[in-house]
Structure formats: C-alpha cells, structure tokens
Amino acid sequence: MPRTILVVDDDPHIRQLLVFALAKAGLESIEAGDGEEALALAASHAPDLVVLDINMPKMDGLEVCRRLRAEGEMPILFLSSRDDEIDRVLGIELGADDYVVKPFSPREVVARVVAILRRAAARAPEGDKAAPAIRHAKLALDLDGWRAEWAGTEVALTVTEFSILRVLATTPAKVFSRDAIIDRLHGPSFAVTDRTIDSHIRNLRGKFTAVGGHDVVETRAGVGYRLGPCSGAS
C-alpha cells in the first residue's frame, strides 16, 4: 500500500510543491496549514511520516513534535525556514529524524523522506524467519521488531536513533566516524551534518541514562563513536 505523508506548512505553495513531488515518488499526502490541524490529522489518519515546518501560527513545529513524541514514534522530518543551528538541533533533540533547511529542493525532501521510510520498513533478509537479536551485556536489540531494551526494560527510540544504535551494536569493537554512520544510514554522499549525528547520539544517551544505561555509547575524541560496555556502570 502507498505510504501516507502528512505535510505541515503554513505556506500553501510549499505544501503544493511537496505534495506534487511526493506523488511523483508514489507517496500519498495529506496537508495541514498549522500545528493544531497537524495534530488532528496525525490522530485521525496515522500517517507514515510527518514533514513538519518549524515556524507556524497557532502552534509551532517544535511543540507539534513534542506532542507527537509523547504519543509515539511516528517519523518526523523538520523544515526550517532559516539556517539556524539552534532550531535544527533542538528539533533533532525533541525526536525528529532529520531536517531540511529552506529554501530546499523538493527532490531533496523526497529523498530524505524515502530514506527514513526505508529504515522504518527494514525487515529481516528474505528467507529468514526472523532477524537475530543483538545482545551486549544489558542492551538488547530486537532487529525484527525494532525494539530496544535495557535490562529488560523497553527504551522507546525513534527510527534514526534505533538505526544508529544498530550500526554500533552490529560491530561493537569498531569506532565509527560520523561520516561512516551517515553512510550506513543514508548511503554515500548523503548531505547530513556531523551536528545532526551528535544530536541523535545525545538523545540515545539521555534515554538510556534515564533507565540506568550510562555507558551505551562511547566517544572516541577526534574519531567518532562506538558501542560502550553496556554494563550500567556510571
């Protein structure tokens, strides 16, 4: 079945451009012109992903993201009207999976939407009954069910957060540069800044620290990230 994308922007011209571009990629769209309408449509239509403008009347995109994240892990791609690092990083820290800065190419937005959907829809290789779980000390990842657990307690992660953790956990001895993580998530030459990866890692650490997982991800200064010992030692 076609995936449904909720496009949220107070500019009808931008919505029209994105809906047209998404349709060419085989994706269905529904539209909202403000934050309140976006929340109502998200509740009634359960879209597969939300393309969400940050600056809107009635309720801005950051607050919409906050409320959506309180309800579940629906993928979110932010649109930012200016090249403002604070807005972008705050959006990622609230749980957005990616962002695009205006003015943007509709093709770039579609490419990022497709990349996020591809990660969300990843399944076990054909012929396998189930993808193997990854266990490392107190950390457990159910690759088929896209579930992360710490000492038996589920930790709710966004699509991108789970994908990053899976990359690290699949090769626990390897130190991944930020570029290497981006390549694993999106493919080579995909334009994502180092700061975005740092924000996702910060989110991961915060969520696991809240349940006692202080050592899930290690930073190797000047190199990148690797999976930590996952023992719970502070």
Give domain limits for the chain.
4-120, 134-227
Quick check: 27 pLDDT over 90? yes
- Listed residue (30, 23, 25) closest to 5, CA to CA: 30
- What's the pLDDT at 48? 92
SS3 label, residue 145: coil
As a whole number, mean pLDDT of residues 127-150 equals 80
φ, ψ dihedrals at 38, nearest 5°: -60, -45
31-74: pLDDT as tens digits: 999 999 999 999 999 999 999 998 888 888 889 998 998 887 78
Angle of CA points 163, 207, 54, to nearest 5°: 75
- What's the pLDDT at 126? 45
Class of domain 4-120: alpha beta
Give the pTM. 0.61
Whole-angstrom distance, CA of residue 193 vs CA of residue 178 = 9
Mean pLDDT over the full length of the chain: 85
CATH of 134-227, one of 1.10.10.10, 2.160.10.10, 3.40.190.10, 3.30.420.110: 1.10.10.10
**Tell me, what DSSP letter sits at residue 19?**
H
- What's the pLDDT at 87? 65
- What's the pLDDT at 122? 60
Quick check: 16 pLDDT over 90? yes
Query: Where are the alpha helices (H) located in the chain, listed in sequence order?
Result: 12-24, 35-45, 61-71, 85-93, 106-120, 159-170, 178-186, 194-209
- What's the pLDDT at 84? 61
Least confident of 12-16, 88-92, 156-160: 88-92
- What's the pLDDT at 226? 94
Cα Rg of the chain, angstroms: 18
- What's the pLDDT at 109? 93
- What's the pLDDT at 180? 87
As a whole number, mean pLDDT of residues 105-131 equals 72
Whole-angstrom distance, CA of residue 143 vs CA of residue 18 = 32
Spatial contact of 113 and 223, defined as CB atoms under 8 Å apart: no
User: Is the alpha carbon torsion for 17, 19, 23, 27 positive or negative?
Assistant: positive
- Token output for 146: 């896209």
The torsion of the CA quartet 108, 62, 182, 221, rounded to 10 degrees, works out to: 150
* 28 vs 145, residue with greater confidence: 28
Spatial contact of 195 and 141, defined as CB atoms under 8 Å apart: no
- What's the pLDDT at 2? 77
Q: Give the pLDDT band (50/70/90) at residue 82.
A: low
SS3 label, residue 130: coil
181-190: pLDDT as tens digits: 887 876 544 5
As a whole number, mean pLDDT of residues 148-176 equals 90
- What's the pLDDT at 96? 82
What HEC string does 207-227 produce?
HHHCCCCCCCEEEECCCEEEE
Quick check: 203 pLDDT over 80? yes
* 120 vs 181, residue with greater confidence: 181
Amino acid, res. 20: F
- What's the pLDDT at 125? 42
Amino acid, res. 96: A
- Listed residue (185, 224, 69, 204) closest to 139, CA to CA: 204
